Amino acid sequence: MIKVRIPATTANMGPGFDSFGMALKLYNEIEVEEKKGKTIILNNGIKSEDNYKDNLIYNSLINTLDRFNYKYDGFIINVSKCDIPICRGLGSSAACIVGGVAAASSLMGNRLSLDEIIEIATEVEGHPDNVVPAAVGGMVVSIKDGEKVNYSKIRVPNELKFAAMIPDFQVSTALSRQILPQAYVKEDCIFNISRSAMLISALYNGEFDKLRACFNDKIHEPYRKKLIKNAEEILEKARDTGAVGEFVSGSGSTLMAVVDKDIEKFEKEVKDFLGKLEDNWRLILLEPDVEGIRVASC
């Protein structure tokens, strides 16, 4: 049996559209075992009623095995832990993809390097911003150079905590991309380029007073916030309660605040505020995961 643990991820992080991402200490765990004759999907040991052929872990697994002509007959795939909220902008799809590819590599005798796992997962996902930090951990800038994925880690100061504010409604990834403009004015591109560069510098130098300006964005957030009810009010509350920066996590619906001090006060006041809203918002305080994916054979 192969056991795989995959962290949640937050992507874009303000100005880093489709390129910035960070792994978080919130995990899914899957178990994969070859089985003769049929495939079964389990959720914490309970058989899923969904067609296994629609399962993203399964499809990522066999996509990888087929590339190397690995012969298989069937699988038992058990999602033994599922703490990453589905379709909330915290990398649930990337976790399935990276988990499936990594499990395939392990079944083949650890045939794939970490970079090869990343490149296959990126091909399945379409862009690297979530799959790379899920694989390698930490905060990462990722770019595609032809078919190759290049990435570089960014040091995140230990003082920073990330408050994920998660509602009980989803935002469709397809709709969140469809709502974006097909072209941008030069000034908006310069705005994002400059803030992306300064965000990295400010994190390295511990210049927390500059982070709010650095997390600003004109490429995706102004459009995606319209799909998230109460987004502006929640981000304003986070700002007024001491956050040093805020952003939409991935394509939403999760909103993220970055906090460096008075964390208990922030947590209490923002939780109280969220409790008065519709849509059952909840707040989870998270730290960066620096390990990335973990695979074990049993």
Annotated binding site for ATP: 85-95
Distance CA 74, CA 201 (A): 49
Contact assessment for residue 14 and residue 213, using Cβ atoms and an 8 Å cutoff:
no
Whether omega before 19 lies within 30 degrees of 0, making that bond cis, reads no
Distance CA 198, CA 204 (A): 10
Amino acid at 147: E
DSSP-derived pairing of the beta strands 255-259 and 282-286: unpaired
The binding site consists of: 85-95
The DSSP output letter for 87 is T
H/E run at residue 257: strand 255-259
H/E run at residue 120: helix 114-125
